Amino acid sequence: MSKAFGFKEFGGPESQGFLDRPTPVPGPGQLLVAVRAAGVNPIDWKIRQGFMGTELPLPAVYGVEVAGVVQGVGRGVEGFAVGDEVFGSALAGGYAEHTLLAADHAARKPAGVSFVQAAVLPVAAATAYDGVLQLALEPGQTLLILGIAGGLGTAAAQIARGSGLTVLGTASDANRGFVESLGATQVRYGEGVAERIRAVAPGGVDGILDLIGGADARAAAEALATPGRLVSVVDPVTATDLDGAFVRRSGTAATLDALAALVAAGGLDPHITATYPLEQAAEALAVVEAGHARGKLVLEIG
């Protein structure tokens, strides 16, 4: 048996708890992984709330991204062996002692990258990477990140700075110093945001990476130098209304390799602001669900 933390019903956190489940069996093309670290993401509680649909069989295990050690290899898998240190998107939940990865979307963890660091690359950092690339801005141009202080924004800011972009980001004043430590300029969100953006970037911004959506995205879009240069990771409807686009996720092992290489080279700090044991998964998820986590929260397992 294998310990996991999940939920039995869609809705609030009342039905969540620890589950004992049989250790998952890797199917064709899959890896069985002993999880060492799991990223905590807003998608975890959104799935529980049923925001992503209610077809998922219950009980379900939380968690979509992990790093760990290969314990079993499914039929047809090439290039991985038992004992390999890997990371990727979890197919069977990540808040767990064991999960499954799709071998063709998993990557080997470099020795210079910790399990905790690797665990946050498949979702937050990879989405940031895809979003920044999709905007296709030129070095010297200005990117505005809506929601810069969270897990995705923190990674996006560094990837954008590394590409030679000037970066602004919306965050509360409490995060001003943190945003500046990323090499970016903080702009307070809320009413009047477009004026505050223009005060920092008088010609407007060249692109927006939207991690917030809705009215925040509409207000900030007024400060775009070229209307429509917006990629959202949260709100396809508003993005389309603004002539922007929803993020296209690459989901490839090549992206994971590129991100791990960046971390190993010191070009990307995943900003792990807290780690929790699996036993405190509920506390970690509650912090993320409250909507004001700084950087990334990670479960350390085993």
| Shortest spacing between CB 74 and ligand NAP, in angstroms | 25
Bridge partners (DSSP) of residue 30 are 102
Nearer CB in complex with ligand NAP: 171/272: 171
**Which helix (H) or strand (E) element contains residue 214?**
helix 214-221
> Of 288, 298, 299, 301, which lies in the binding site for ligand NAP, with binding defined by CB under 6 A?
288
Tell whether residue 88 is a contact of ligand NAP (CB under 6 A): no
**Which helix (H) or strand (E) element contains residue 194?**
helix 193-200
Tell whether residue 224 is a contact of ligand NAP (CB under 6 A): no
Instruction: Please report how the helices 193-200 and 214-221 are oriented relative to each other, as an axis angle in degrees rounded to 10.
Output: 40
State the CB neighbour count (10 A cutoff) for residue 28: 9
Write the CA distances from 136 to 79, 130, 165, 224, integer angstroms.
33, 10, 11, 15
Tell whether residue 137 is a contact of ligand NAP (CB under 6 A): no
Site string (105-124) toward ligand NAP, x via CB under 6 A? ------------------xx
| Shortest spacing between CB 72 and ligand NAP, in angstroms | 28
Contacting range for ligand NAP; rule: CB under 6 A; set: 15-23, 35-43, 78-86, 110-118: 35-43
Nearer CB in complex with ligand NAP: 79/181: 181
Tell whether residue 64 is a contact of ligand NAP (CB under 6 A): no
Tell whether residue 38 is a contact of ligand NAP (CB under 6 A): no
Q: How far is CA 163 from the centre of its chain?
A: 19
Q: How far is CA 175 from the centre of its chain?
A: 19
Cβ neighbours for 202, distance < 8 A, ≥ 6 positions apart: none
Which residues bind to ligand NAP, rule: CB under 6 A?
41-43, 46, 123-124, 127, 146-147, 149-153, 170-172, 174-175, 189, 211-212, 216, 233-234, 247, 249, 288, 291-294
